[in-house]
Structure 1
Amino acid sequence: MINSYPQVMTIAGSDCDGSAGMQADMNTFFARKTYGISVMTACVAGNSYGIHAAQPLTTDFIDAEFKGIADDFKVLATKTGMLTDSPTIDVVAKNYRQYDFGPLILDPVIITKHGAMLLEQSAYETLKEQLIPLAHVITPNFFELQKLADMTINDEADMLTAAKKLQAMGAKNVMAKGAHHETDGLTEVKDLLLLESGETVWLSAPYHDTEHINGTGDALSACITAEIAKGQPVKTAVMTAKTLVNKAIENELAVGHKYGPINIWELA
């Protein structure tokens, strides 16, 4: 039967070294036995040492990508990644409202896992206004959670308060990642899942001291997307993603000289 195989979509930038962005999403979709479709928003030139150049795509081209997909495929769930600027975010929100691309898993690429701001303030405000209300699941890292909730997070109670603030902005389910930037004596990373029902689930995994963590957030949100497309409830999808991504970090790949990718084969 046409379009009976589970199809999922990523709206993201292309990372030429394959460790993150659209490439990490597509590899994760493949590992989780879903068919991956992509809307490219930007092209990034870089390697394991860092990013050297980036080129956003035009909104007209992004519009054409969306229409091409909507005219032919049945997308059951979608995730976002790098959205670069306000015009890009606006065109993504417009198309998501226009077409049925399934539940939206919003990976808010606002701040790096090391705390560096990635979006200009105007684009950040656009993301808050346009995309958070559309999010079925939002997956902020520790710094993004603090920024979006406009508060300092010191403990688990603060994490829960911040997650509730994101729900008040319109996100149905919040998968908030715990701190792992202060590594002295750190043995575990604890994340919070706040479900639409109000149920809270704490997800704990061992901390692995490695520089091969590129694509962690991409793979996590892509795995959640794939599992939801296959019919899993949010709680199961998030727990599956957390377990598999932790394995992918633990069993690292010897790829790249500096900040390498996670082991995508562990997601299968």
Structure 2
Amino acid sequence: MLKVTPTDVLSKHSISKNDTSTPASLKQKPSIPIVLTIAGSDSGGGAGIQADIKAISATGSYACSVITAITAQNTLGVSAIFPIPLEHVEKQLDAVFSDLNIVAVKVGMLADCDIIKVVAAKIKQYKPAFLVVDPVMVATSGDLLLKESAISTLKSELLPLADLITPNLPEGAALIGSDVPTNEDAMGDMICELRQLNVNAVLLKGGHLEQDENSNDLLIFQDHFQQLTAKRIHTHNTHGTGCTLSSAIASYLAQGHDLLQAVKLGKQYISNAIAHADELDIGSGHGPVNHFFAGHADV
């Protein structure tokens, strides 16, 4: 997939430098990069499309969306999943790509093989500059969100197109067919097999190692990896953390940051959102993170 920076991607509405009839004030008007999220809807508002739009907006980009499934969901769990008909998923994709200057795409919940294939085909057709895939398989509550039969399709059709995939430990284990690691040594043992997924980079998230003092992630490239460390924050309100992080990374990529810096900024953002999560009182189960912490707190 062709990779270009946001400054290389010109909107069809961009003003020519030679157009002297355009007022200077319009020529100098800054543009906000557009980020598309392709994911499922969370009726509880803490994860999925709703979390993605909040994170993209809070980190300074413009969010648009394509909904792949409707979940009946709250902080206690997922009670039903209704996949959007394929024709309508395709029409949503064509609608936003044909009109909006989308710089980065974040992909989340896709539910089944057919939707994965449609999304992959449209990514190949429209060639956005950046693609971040959060291989959503299991909700924070433990509910299965991706059919097991669809994992191979995800690996063959979509992951090779991505600049970055962001699995947590259970998702990473499912992608390579291993046991879920229970310590950092076992987490490190996953590196070689994750490199065989034919992806540009993998952010393996260590948040499930709850016994550790820090929350350590591994940013894995083909020839090296880097450990990213943050202080572990103890809270029951962690619903939507993966959606939020991957969306923030896509937002920062769209703004022109390189991959390493976008990941670091995304990790900083989600750490703050988790740190302020207990300021919210949402539901009786795993509450959401606080996406807009900066708007009403000293950070």
Same fold per superposition (TM over 0.5): yes
TM-superposed CA distance for 1:149, in Å, is 2.1
Equivalent pairs, count:
265
CA positional deviation for 1:118: 2.9
Q: Which has the larger radius of gyration?
A: 2
8 A contact 1:86–1:122 mirrored in 2: yes
Superposition deviation, residue 116 in structure 1: 5.2
1:32–1:267 CA contact under 8 A, matched in 2: no
Runs of at least 5 residues in structure 2 that lack an aligned partner in the other structure: 1-10, 15-30
Q: State yes or no: 1:206 paired with 2:234.
A: no
2:85 to 52, 55, 58: 58
Q: Would you say the 8 A contact 2:109–2:136 is kept in 1?
A: yes
Please tell me whether residue 220 in structure 1 is matched to residue 248 in structure 2. Answer: no
After TM superposition, give the deviation of residue 257 of structure 1 in Å.
Answer: 2.1
| Worse-superposed segment, 229-238 or 145-154 | 145-154
Aligned equivalents of 1:154, 1:14: Cα separation in 2: 31
Shift of residue 260 of structure 1?
0.6
Question: In the alignment, residue 194 of structure 1 is paired with which amino acid?
Answer: I
User: How far apart are 1:195 and its partner, in Å?
Assistant: 3.1
Match of 2:18 in 1: none
Which residue does 1:93 correspond to in 2? 120
CA distance in 1, matches of 2:294, 2:225: 25
Mapping of 1:229-248 within 5 angstroms?
229-248=254-273
Contact 1:211–1:260 at 8 Å: present in 2 too?
yes
Q: Choose which of 144, 148, 151 in structure 1 pairs with 2:171.
A: 144
The 5 A counterparts of 1:91-170 are 91-113=118-140, 117-152=144-179, 153=181, 155-170=183-198
1 CA distance for matches of 2:73 and 2:149?
25
Which secondary structure does the structure 2 equivalent of 1:88 belong to?
helix
Secondary structure of 1:231's match? Answer: coil
| Aligned residue number for residue 201 of structure 2 | 173
User: Which of 282, 285, 295 lines up with 1:255 in the alignment?
Assistant: 282
Q: 2:97 matched to 1:73?
A: no
Once residues 84 and 237 of structure 2 are traced to their aligned partners in structure 1, the CA distance between those partners, rounded to angstroms, is 29
Between the aligned partners of 2:48 and 2:35, the Cα distance in structure 1 is 15
Instruction: Tell me the alpha carbon deviations over residues 206-230 of structure 1, each in whole angstroms, 9 at most, x when there is no partner.
Output: 2222221111000100000000000
Deviates more, 1:130-139 or 1:117-126: 117-126
Return the TM-score normalized by structure 2.
0.82
**CA distance in structure 2 between the aligned counterparts of 1:50 and 1:117, rounded to whole angstroms:** 10
Offset from partner CA, 1:142-164 (integer Å, 9 cap, x none) = 11111212233355454344234
Which amino acid counterpart does residue 43 of structure 2 have in structure 1?
C
- The aligned counterpart of 2:215 is 189
CA shift digits 1:121-162 (9 cap, x unpaired): 221111111111111100000111112122333554543442
Mark the runs of 5 or more structure 1 residues left unpaired by the alignment: none
The answer to whether structure 1 residue 41 and structure 2 residue 85 are counterparts is no
Contact 1:113–1:141 (8 Å) recurs in 2: no
TM-score, normalising length: structure 1 = 0.91
CA–CA separation in structure 1 for the residues paired with 2:178 and 2:77:
29
**Percentage identity across aligned positions?**
35
Aligned partners of 1:175, 1:44: CA distance in 2, in Å?
A: 26
SS at match of 1:40: strand
2:115 maps to amino acid: T
SS in 1 for 2:163: strand
